[in-house]
Amino acid sequence: MPANVVVPEVGESIVDARVAKWLKKEGDAVTVGEPLVELETDKIDLEVAAPQAGVLGRIAHGDGADVKVGEVLGVIEDGERSGSTGASPAEAASTKTPAASTFAPAAASPGASTSAPVAAFAGASVDRSVDKKADAKSSETEKKRSTPAARNAAEQNAVDLKQVSGSGDAGRVMKRDVEQAAQRPGPRPVEEKSAPRPMTPVREERRVEGDRTEERVRMSKRRATIAKRLVEAQSTAAMLTTFNEVDMTAVMALRERHKQPFKDRYGVGLGLTSFFVKAAIGALRAFPRVNAEIQGDEMVLKHYFDIGVAVGASEGLVVPVLRDADRLSFAAIEQKVRQFAKAAEDGTLSLADLKGGTFTITNGGVFGSLLSTPILNPPQVGILGLHAIKERPMAINGQVVVRQMMYVALTYDHRIVDGAEAVQFLVRVKQLVEDPGALLIE
C-alpha cells in the first residue's frame, strides 16, 4: 500500500519547518529507513526517513517550501524503480538475451559464430549492473561519512567529498571541512579527467568598478525565527541594561597555573565560561527573581538553575542549556560547552539540548566585542553579557597598575526585576569572579 511521508513531530515548540533539500527524486527506489528529505526548523535540522520500501511516487512539497507538522511531504508507492517490470535480475537477463541474439547475426561476419556477440552483450549488461550497485554503495558510504550540511556545502562549492578529510567522529566530514577545502587554492578534483573536448567560447561577465550590485537571499528558517523572536522580546519586555567591570587578573592567573594539569586530566581546556556560570548561580541564589519568569499576573520563581550558553554557528546563534548547572563541576561545564559548540557547527544539536533554560550567558568577547547590550531570551528575565578582556591602567590602593579588565552587562526585565536588584546582582557576579576562591565556598 502507498505510504505518506509526513513532517514529524519534533517537539511542542516546533510547529512548522522548511524543506531544505530532497535527497531522492520522483521515481527513485527507496528502502526502509533511508533518508528522503532534509528539513530546517527554527532550532534544529533533521532528516525524514522512508517509512517503507518502494518508489518515491510523488513529491508534494519541493525544496524551499514551508510545511506544517503532520503535512504530507511525498508518497511512497509499492514497486521498484520506474521502468522496471518487477522481474528479478536473473529473469531480466534471461528475457534480454534472446533479443540480443536476434540482432547479433546482423553484426557478425559470415560464417562466424553468434555466441560471442551475445555473450559480450550479456556481459556488458552485467557489468553495468555491477557498476550501478557499486555507485549506489559508494553514494551510501559518502552519506554515512558526511553530514547533510557537509553534502550541501560540497554541492554549492563544487567540492568532491572523497577528497576532503573529516574532522568529526570516526573521520566524518563536517561542513567546516568542506568550507576549508573550498578555500584552498588550486583546482578541485570534482570528477575524473576524460578525453579533451573542443573548447567552447565562454562569455565572461566582468564587473565594472562602481557597479551597484544587489543579491536577494532568502532567510533560513532559523534566521527568520531569530529575527521574529528578537523583535517580540523588545516589544513585550521592559528591557533595561546595567553595566560593571570585572578585574579578571586573578582568574587569568589561576587558569595559567592549572591549564595544563586540567587539560591532561579532563581532556578539555579551562575556559572562562565555567567561572561565570558558577558566579551567575551564586548571584541567582541571592536574587531569585532574576531566575524567574512572568506568566500572566504571576511570577514563577525557579529553584533550579538551567543555564543557557549562547553559541555562535554559521546558521545563526543557538542557546543550548546546561541542566542543573549548580550540580556540575568546572570540568563538566567546560566539556558540555565544548560539545555544544561542536554540535552547533555540525548541525547535530537536539531539541532537548535547546529546550528550556532559566538564565542565559552570552560572550561577545570571543568575537572582539568590548561592550554591548544583550537582548533577553524570553521567557527569561535576565541575560549576562561577557566581553573582551583588555589590559587597562587601574588605580589600586593609590597605585596605578595594569590589570586585565572585562566589561559585563546584565539585561533584565524591569517588570519583575528592580534596578537596584539588577545592580546588586551584577556586583555579586563581579565579587565572585574577582575572588575565584569564593566560588568554592559558594
Instruction: In whole angstroms, give the CA distance from residue 20 to residue 66.
Output: 9
Active-site pick, 131, 169, 324, 418: 418
Q: Is 418 a catalytic residue?
A: yes
Instruction: In whole angstroms, give the CA distance from residue 62 to residue 72.
Output: 11
Active-site pick, 177, 297, 414, 435: 414
Give the active site residues. 414, 418
